[in-house]
Structures are given as C-alpha cells and as structure tokens.
C-alpha cells in the first residue's frame, strides 16, 4: 500500500534510501517531497543526479542505460525521472518493472508524477510499491483545510487563532499553492506571538488583492472559474485592460514557443522556468494543440484593437471569453 504523508516523513529519516521511490499526486506536495528526498540523498552521499523528462518521444532504453552506467565521480547516484501524466505507457511500464526487479547497486530511482488517481494504477505501479516506496499526496478536502493551514503555519514557526486560520482559508479559495505562498509571506512579515484575525487581515490584505499574475496562473492551470473571478476583481478595482493584456500576451507567446519546441524540457530551461511553472505550461499544452494558442493570440490582438478604439466590440467581454478558452479549450468555440 502507498504510504501516507505522515509515514513518508518517517521513511525519509531512514539511514539508507530505497532503490525506487514514486511520489505522485498534488503538484506542490510532490515537488516539496521530491526536494526533501534530493536533500536527503545529498546527506547520504549521493554525489550525482541524472534527470529525465518523459515526453511523447522519450526513449525508455535511457532508463536502463542510466542504471547500468558506471560513474567516475560518485559512488551513489540518483536518477530523477519526471513522469508528469503518471502514465508511462507499455514500454515505460516494462522499463520501470525491469528496474524494480533488478535495481542497480548504489542507484536510487525517483519518479515524480503530477497526476494520479485509481485509474493510473497498474501492474507496474504495484510492482514499484512492493519493491520500493510509493507515496500519493492529495490536496486537503474541504473539511481539512483549516487543519492543513494550521500545520503549515506550525512548520514555519507560526501559530494563529482559529478565526485567523479560517480567514486565510477563505482568502486562498482552496488553492494549495496560494496558501503555501501566503504562509511563506507571513513567516517574513509576522513578528513574535500568535496571529489573530485582525492581524491576519492586515498581513494578507495586500497579497490577497487580485493581480494579473494570479489571473494568468489560474487560467493556464485550467481553473476557469477562479480566473474569471480574478478578472472581474481586476475590473472592479479599476485596472486598465490594456495593461493586463500585455502580460497575458507575453504568457501566450511563451506557451506558443513551448508548443513549437521539439524538446519541451530544453525550451523550458532556455525560458528559465522553474519546475512549478514548467509543470503549469506542460499541463496547459496537453489540454490543447498549437493551433489553439495561435487562435488565443489572434483573439488577444483583437481585444487590443477594441481597447484602442480601432475595432468595434466589448473588450472586457472578449477578455472573459479568451480567459475561458485558455483555461478550458473546449470553451474555445465561444470565441467565434
């Protein structure tokens, strides 16, 4: 059976690493768990790490070659295999099963997957779970949010009253990444003592404002409802649509460059995307082909002309349609 998050912390403290780990589920929690495992590997003398990003044309023979190769510089090696969809396919399942059946000495395989459900489970994942360590991370359920925020605050050396925790939970709207970011800011802004509701209101007031960065992140993450709420908030606060469109176009152009790239991972590295944003765009591009992003850019250009009075139409209404199409490409027919 896969470990729970609490069991994972105990497993991470062991004196030696297992041959295989799979960390799957909620993106933020998986990324943090993977960072913790890499740090533990360094503590235990793993001096070399090889990273593989599994895409459509990934050669699964690379995994076997990496396991069999000898290192001239390190006695222990970590193979970091990024499997965003959690679906290795037939060849991938065979390669992972073979690795689990006969793991190379002094080599640990770390597999991370940002998508996971019971539908992903198969013979290969059960074999991995039996021969190594598998952990599935889930976002808090609605009734668990306050407890999760309280524990997260405690992990940063903070404490808050129940009313303050409830206020923060309401502000982040069930967004795990937003909650983590707010708590990290609180760790910087708050002094000593317990945070009450009044102080929480003050400390998160500025960061809880709607902004264009949250708008684009929500849209590309596929959270259309939240993205549209943010757009409505920006409009109510008097933000100029032309200024908002500048950043939105920038991100659409980035998406198109990534869609055009033969090697997504190499292009993401060239764009200097950190892993969380790399995964954000990877997921967005899986929802729609290249032509969709071209269509979105064309719509953005039309909105620009409307704002400048060069074309008739309601630019805010068109912006809503564009945001909906970015978040949910099936809604793209609303662009017509």
At residue 141, the pLDDT reads 84
CA angle 285, 288, 289 (to 5 degrees): 90
At residue 210, the pLDDT reads 59
Write out residues in the chain with pLDDT < 50, as ranges.
206-208, 334-336
At residue 117, the pLDDT reads 82
At residue 332, the pLDDT reads 59
Phi-psi region of 45 (alpha: psi -120 to 50; beta: other; left: phi over 0): left
133 exposure class (CB count in 10 Å sphere: 0-12, 13-18, 19+): buried
Strand partners, 198: none
Distance in angstroms (rounded) separating the CA atoms of residues 91 and 95 = 6
At residue 334, the pLDDT reads 46
Distance in angstroms (rounded) separating the CA atoms of residues 244 and 215 = 9
Collapsing DSSP to helix, strand or coil, 161 comes out as coil
At residue 60, the pLDDT reads 94
To the question of pTM greater than 0.75 for the whole model, the response is: no
At residue 79, the pLDDT reads 94
């Amino acid at each position: 059976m896969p470990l729970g998050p609490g069991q994972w912390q105990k497993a991470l403290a062991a004196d030696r690493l297992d041959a295989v780990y799979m960390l799957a589920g909620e993106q933020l929690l998986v990324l943090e768990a993977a960072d913790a495992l890499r740090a533990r590997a360094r503590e235990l003398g793993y001096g070399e790490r090889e990273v593989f990003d599994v895409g459509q044309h990934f050669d699964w023979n690379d995994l076997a070659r990496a396991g069999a190769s000898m290192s001239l510089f390190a006695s222990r090696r970590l193979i970091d295999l990024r499997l965003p969809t959690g679906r290795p396919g037939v060849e991938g399942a065979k390669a992972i099963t073979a690795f689990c059946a006969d793991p190379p000495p002094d080599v640990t395989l770390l597999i991370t997957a940002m998508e996971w459900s019971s539908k992903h489970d198969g013979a290969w994942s059960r074999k991995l779970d039996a021969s190594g360590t598998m952990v599935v991370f889930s976002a808090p359920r609605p009734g668990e949010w306050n407890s999760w925020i309280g524990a997260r605050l405690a992990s940063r050396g903070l404490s808050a009253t129940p009313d303050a925790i409830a206020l923060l939970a309401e502000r982040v709207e069930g967004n795990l990444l937003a909650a983590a970011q707010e708590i990290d800011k609180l760790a910087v802004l708050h002094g000593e003592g317990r945070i009450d509701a009044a102080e929480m209101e003050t400390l998160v007031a500025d960061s809880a404002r709607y902004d264009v960065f949250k708008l684009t992140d929500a849209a590309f993450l596929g959270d259309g409802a939240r993205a549209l709420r943010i757009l409505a908030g920006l409009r109510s606060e008097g933000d100029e649509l032309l200024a908002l469109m500048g950043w939105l176009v920038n991100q659409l152009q980035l998406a198109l460059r990534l869609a055009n790239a033969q090697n997504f991972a190499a292009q993401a590295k060239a764009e200097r995307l950190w892993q969380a944003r790399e995964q954000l765009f990877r997921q967005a591009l899986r929802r729609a082909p290249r032509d969709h992003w071209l269509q979105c850019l064309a719509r953005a250009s039309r909105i620009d002309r409307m704002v400048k009075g060069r074309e008739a139409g309601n630019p805010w209404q068109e912006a809503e349609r564009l945001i909906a199409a970015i978040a949910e490409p099936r809604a793209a027919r609303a662009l017509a």
